[in-house]
Amino acid sequence: MLTEIITIGDEILIGQIVDTNSAYISKQLNQIGVQVYQITSIQDERQHILNALEDAKKRVDLVIVTGGLGPTKDDITKETFCEYFEDTLVENVEVLQNIKEIFAKYIKQEPLPANLKQAMVPSKAEVLQNPNGTAPGIWMEKDNTVFISMPGVPYEMKHILTKEVFPRIIKKYNRPHIYHKTLLTYGLGESAVAERIEDWENKLPKDIKLAYLPSLGRVRLRLSSKGKDKKALQKAVDEQMEKLNTLLEDIAVGFENETSIVERVASLLLQKKQTLSLAESCTGGSVVKEITAVPGASTYLRGSIVPYETSQKVSVLGVSQELIDKHTVVSAPVAEAMATQVAKLFKTDYAVATTGIAGPTKGDAIDEVGTVFIAIASPKGVVSQKFSFGNNRERVIIKATNKAFEMLLKEILKN
Amino acid sequence: MLTEIITIGDEILIGQIVDTNSAYISKQLNQIGVQVYQITSIQDERQHILNALEDAKKRVDLVIVTGGLGPTKDDITKETFCEYFEDTLVENVEVLQNIKEIFAKYIKQEPLPANLKQAMVPSKAEVLQNPNGTAPGIWMEKDNTVFISMPGVPYEMKHILTKEVFPRIIKKYNRPHIYHKTLLTYGLGESAVAERIEDWENKLPKDIKLAYLPSLGRVRLRLSSKGKDKKALQKAVDEQMEKLNTLLEDIAVGFENETSIVERVASLLLQKKQTLSLAESCTGGSVVKEITAVPGASTYLRGSIVPYETSQKVSVLGVSQELIDKHTVVSAPVAEAMATQVAKLFKTDYAVATTGIAGPTKGDAIDEVGTVFIAIASPKGVVSQKFSFGNNRERVIIKATNKAFEMLLKEILKN
C-alpha cells in the first residue's frame, strides 16, 4: 500500500516557507505501517491540481493533500476537488456548527460570510471534523484510490490526521509493520564508516535496507525493514544494529529512533534529580534553545547566561580578568572557569560553557575562525576540549551545539 | 520558462529530515526570474528516479535534482542519470584533483577508493565543480530539457547553485523578472482581513496575484508579478502595496521582503550604537537564539539570562522577592523589573524580558497556560504588555518571541 502527499501552495514554490507538513505526515504514517512513495508540492492553480491528482492516482493507493482550504479567494482546493470528482458543494450542518462555536468561543464575533462558506463540502465526501479551525478535512474515493484533503495549518492538520484519518486508514487497509532504527556516530566520514563496515554490509539480509545520513561532523546509519510479523522484524533489525554498534563502538553515541540526545540529557537529569546551567558565548543561546524546547526543562534547567562580550565574562560570570589576560578569552582555562562560575552562580550540578570564534571575522582573537572550547562542569570537577569547526558561522554554531550535548551526556553518564 | 526540483532520499519520505533545500533553491531561482512549477521528493530507487526524470521532462524546461551523490552504496543518482541518458561514467581530472586536495587539506589522509570513485562522471555531462565536497554537480541535456544534479549537503549545494548553475542559466535562458512583496499584519484573522480589502482586491490588475499566508497570530499578504520590464513591474506592485498598507494601517507592521524584524532591530542598534540585553523566562532562549543567528550580534548584544526558576529571578537578576510575592511571578511588575534589572546588570540601552506560562502544565501559576507578559526597558523607561497565546507550548513560545521583537522594534523606533 503506497501513499503520496501533495502540498498545495505558491508559498512553497517560491521558497517563502519550508514545507514541514510532509515530513510530519510521513513520519506518522510510517508508525502505522504506511509507506510514503512520493511527496509533490504544487501551485494554487486549477489545472496543476487536477494533473497532480490524476498522476498520483496512477502511482499510489492513498493521496493526502494539504493546503488551499482557507476562506480567501486564493484557496481553490475544495472547488478543484469538486471538479475532479464531478461533484457539487453542499452545506454540512456539523461543520457549520463547529464554525459558529469557534467564533463564539475564540473570536467573540459573528462569523463572516466567507467563514460560513467553509461549511460547504463536496456531496460525495466523508467529512473529517476539525475542532481547531473552520476548514474541515474531506475523504473521497475514485477508482479504488482514496483522496484526503486537509488544511495546511500544522496544528489543525495534525489533529485531523491523528483523530480522523488514522482510524479510517487502519480500518480500511492491511498494512505491514515498518521499522527504522538509526545509529548516531561522530568523528568519522561517510566513506571511512562505509569501509569499516563493508563486510557486515555485504552480508546484510536483502529485506533490511541500510542508509547513510551524513551531516556536520556526524554520520547517521539507518536500518529499515517492513513485514507482517512485527516481533520478527524488530528482532532481525535489532540484531543487525547490535553488530553495527559493536563494529563502530568507538564512534557510536546512541540510537536516534527513540530519543534525541537533548531528550536523553533531559530524562537523565530528571531521573537523577540533578540540575544544569549554561554559559554560552560562541553558541549564543543555541544550547539553551534546544533544552527549553523540551517540555519539563524548568525542572532541571536553573538558568543560562550568554556573556557575549568579554567584559561580561568578568562582571556577570565572575571569571577572573587575570585568567583572560594570561590565556586569552578563547582558551581552555577560560571555558573551564566559565563552566565552574555559572554552576556556582546558579547552584547547579552540571554546567556547560562555550567560548570560541564563530566568525565571519576573528575580532581581536588570536586563534582561527572556527576555534571553539567547550567545558563541562560536573560534581566530579570540570573537563574541556578544543575543536576546529571550519569557517562557516552557521556550521560552527551547529557543530559546537551538537558537541556540547555529546560532552554533557558523557559526563552525566559517568556520574 | 518553468523548473522542477526533484529531491532524492528515503530520509525525506520517512520524515527523518525536513527538505529545506527545495525552499532555498526556489527562493534563489525566483531572484533571477526562474519560476519553480513543482517540487517532487522521491525514493533512492532506480525506477522511481527514471520515472520522475521522464515525468518532469514533460512538464518543465529545467530539472534540478539534489541528493543521492554520496560515496556509499545507497547513493545511485549518478548511475541512474547514466542509464537515463544512455551514457557511461568517465574519470574527470579536475574532480579527481579536487578530491585529493580536500583530503590533503581537511582530512589529512589519503582518499579511499570510494572517494576517488566520485571523480567518475557521465561522459556527456558538463561538470559543475564543488570545492566544498567530493561529489561534483553535473549538467546534462535531453530533448531541450536541462537536467542538473547536485549533492544534497546544503552548503555544498548552495555554492554550486550560485557559482556554477546560475551563470549558465542566465546565459542560456531569457527570463522575465519576478517580483514579490509581502506585508506583515498582526491581530486580525484571514477572512476579516479579506473583507476589509475586498474592494481593493477586486480591482487588482490581472497580472498581480494576491496570496494570504496566515500563521500564529499574523497574516502575511503577498503580491507577486512577473514581466519583462523590471522597473514597471516593481512600480505596479509597489503602488498596490502602498494602497494595501494604507487600508491595513492599524494592523500592518512592515514588509517582509527586504529584511526580517530581527535584522531590522540589529541594523538599528548598530546604526545608533546602542546595546541590548535579555532576560527570557518563558521564551527560554528563543529570542537570544534569533538575535545571535545574525552576524555582528556581538557588537550590540551584551548578554542574556534565562532565569528559568523563580529563585533565579531574585538571586541572579535581583528582582525583589516582595514584588514577586505581591504580584506573582507571571505579572507586569515582575516582567518590568526583570527588564530593568537585566539592563542594569549588563549596562545596556535596551532590555527585553519575558515571563509567562508556556505549558503544557500551569505549575504553581495562577494565570492560565499561554499567559505571557513582555517588558521592554529603554532609555525612556519601561513598558509591558499582557498576552494570551493559547495552550500549545510551541505556539506560545513562537508567538511570544515574535511579539517581543515587535515591541522592541517599536521602542527602538520611538527613541
A160 and A20 housed in the same domain: yes
Q: Write the burial class of residue A206 (CB in 10 Å: 0-12 exposed, 13-18 middle, 19+ buried).
A: exposed
A6 and A148 housed in the same domain: yes
B116 and B208 housed in the same domain: no
A57 and A80 housed in the same domain: yes
B168 and B181 housed in the same domain: no
Contact A307, A269 (CB under 8 A): no
Beta carbons of A284 and B289 less than 8 Å apart: yes
Reduced to 3 states (helix: H, G, I; strand: E, B; else coil), residue B308 is: coil
Assess B201–A contact: CB distance below 8 Å, yes or no.
yes
Query: Pick from A41, A112, A284: which is nearest to B191 by CB?
Result: A112
Mutation site, B12, B39, B57, B260, interface A, largest A CB count within 10 A: B39
Grid cell for residue A133: 479551525
Beta carbons of B71 and A190 less than 8 Å apart: yes
Distance, in angstroms, between B384 CA and closest chain A CA? 23
HEC letters along chain A: CEEEEEEECHHHHCCCCCCCHHHHHHHHHHHCCCEEEEEEEECCCHHHHHHHHHHHHHHCCEEEEECCCCCCCCCCHHHHHHHHCCCCEEECHHHHHHHHHHHHHHHCCCCCHHHHHHHEEECCCEEECCCCCCCCEEEEEECCEEEEEECCCHHHHHHHHHHHHHHHHHHHCCCCEEEEEEEEEECCCHHHHHHHCHHHHHCCCCCCEEEEEEECCEEEEEEEEEECCHHHHHHHHHHHHHHHHHHCCCCEEEECCCCCHHHHHHHHHHHHCCCEEEEECCCCCHHHHHHHCCCCHHHHEEEEECCCCHHHHHHCCCCCHHHHHHHCCCCHHHHHHHHHHHHHHCCCCEEEEEEECCCCCCCCCCCCCCEEEEEEEECCEEEEEEEECCCCHHHHHHHHHHHHHHHHHHHHHHC
Assess B37–A contact: CB distance below 8 Å, yes or no.
yes
Assess B366–A contact: CB distance below 8 Å, yes or no.
no
Domain count across chain A: 3
Query: Which residues of A are less than 8 Å from B211 in CB distance?
Result: 10-11, 44, 74
Instruction: Identify the closest residue of chain B to A289 by CA–CA distance.
Output: B285
Contact A351, A377 (CB under 8 A): yes
Assess B365–A contact: CB distance below 8 Å, yes or no.
no
Assess B190–A contact: CB distance below 8 Å, yes or no.
yes
In total, the C-beta contacts within 8 angstroms joining chain A to chain B are 285
Q: Which domain does B396 fall in, by range?
A: 261-414
Assess A326–B contact: CB distance below 8 Å, yes or no.
no
Assess B360–A contact: CB distance below 8 Å, yes or no.
yes
Beta carbons of A37 and B48 less than 8 Å apart: yes
A371 and A395 housed in the same domain: yes
Beta carbons of A295 and B360 less than 8 Å apart: yes
* Residue segments in chain B with a per-residue pLDDT below the cut of 50: none
Assess B346–A contact: CB distance below 8 Å, yes or no.
yes
Cα–Cα distance measured from residue B245 to residue B259, given in angstroms and rounded to the nearest whole number: 17
Instruction: Identify the closest residue of chain B to A285 by CA–CA distance.
Output: B289
Which residues of A, range 42-61, sit inside 8 Å of B by Cβ?
Answer: 42-44, 48, 52, 55
Beta carbons of B213 and A16 less than 8 Å apart: yes
A265 and A409 housed in the same domain: yes
Contact A333, A319 (CB under 8 A): no
A404 and A292 housed in the same domain: yes
Contact B38, B60 (CB under 8 A): yes
Last residue of a domain, one of B255, B279, B304: B255
ipTM of the complex: 0.75
Assess B260–A contact: CB distance below 8 Å, yes or no.
no
| pLDDT digits 0-9 by tens, A23-42 | 999 999 998 999 999 999 99
Distance, in angstroms, between B411 CA and closest chain A CA? 23
Assess B204–A contact: CB distance below 8 Å, yes or no.
no
Looking up residue A306, the CATH number of its domain turns out to be: 3.90.950.20
Query: Which residues of B are less than 8 Å from A209 in CB distance?
Result: 10, 74
| pLDDT digits 0-9 by tens, B356-365 | 988 777 666 6
Which residues of B, range 291-310, sit inside 8 Å of A by Cβ?
Answer: 291-293, 295, 297-298, 301-309
Distance, in angstroms, between B393 CA and closest chain A CA? 8
Assess A28–B contact: CB distance below 8 Å, yes or no.
yes
Looking up residue B185, the CATH number of its domain turns out to be: 3.30.70.2860
Query: Which residues of B are less than 8 Å from A10 in CB distance?
Result: 209, 211, 224
With the CA atoms of A78, A83, A85 and A87 taken in that order, what torsion angle do they form, in degrees rounded to the nearest 10?
80
B41 and B128 housed in the same domain: yes
Last residue of a domain, one of A145, A172, A199: A172
Query: Which residues of A are less than 8 Å from B392 in CB distance?
Result: 155
Q: Name B13's Cβ contacts closer than 8 Å, sequence gap at least 6.
A: A26, A35, A36, A37, A38, A39, B41, B42, B43
Instruction: Identify the closest residue of chain B to A394 by CA–CA distance.
Output: B293
Contact A62, A169 (CB under 8 A): yes
By C-alpha distance, which of B214, B180, B208, B179 is closest to B194?
B214
Query: Pick from A26, A210, A211: which is nearest to B15 by CB?
Result: A26
By C-alpha distance, which of B309, B298, B310, B381 is closest to B339?
B381
A237 and A332 housed in the same domain: no
φ, ψ at B146 (rounded to 5°): -95, 135
B184 and B226 housed in the same domain: yes
Instruction: Identify the closest residue of chain A to B181 by CA–CA distance.
Output: A16
* Residue segments in chain A with a per-residue pLDDT below the cut of 70: 216-217, 253, 257-259, 362-365
Query: Which residues of A are less than 8 Å from B397 in CB distance?
Result: 292-293
Angle between helices B393-414 and B261-272 (to 10 degrees): 30
Q: Name A125's Cβ contacts closer than 8 Å, sequence gap at least 6.
A: A81, A87, A138, A139, A140
Beta carbons of A190 and B70 less than 8 Å apart: yes
Beta carbons of A38 and B48 less than 8 Å apart: yes
Assess A398–B contact: CB distance below 8 Å, yes or no.
no
Contact A163, A136 (CB under 8 A): no
Beta carbons of B308 and A308 less than 8 Å apart: no
Beta carbons of A210 and B15 less than 8 Å apart: no
Query: Which residues of B are less than 8 Å from A353 in CB distance?
Result: none
Instruction: Identify the closest residue of chain A to B55 by CA–CA distance.
Output: A55
B286 and B248 housed in the same domain: no
Query: Which residues of B are less than 8 Å from A212 in CB distance?
Result: 70, 72, 74-75
Cα–Cα distance measured from residue B283 to residue A185, given in angstroms and rounded to the nearest whole number: 31
Last residue of a domain, one of A255, A279, A309: A255
Assess B345–A contact: CB distance below 8 Å, yes or no.
yes
Assess B245–A contact: CB distance below 8 Å, yes or no.
no
Beta carbons of A195 and B393 less than 8 Å apart: no
What pLDDT is stored for residue A363 in this prediction? 65
Looking up residue A141, the CATH number of its domain turns out to be: 3.40.980.10
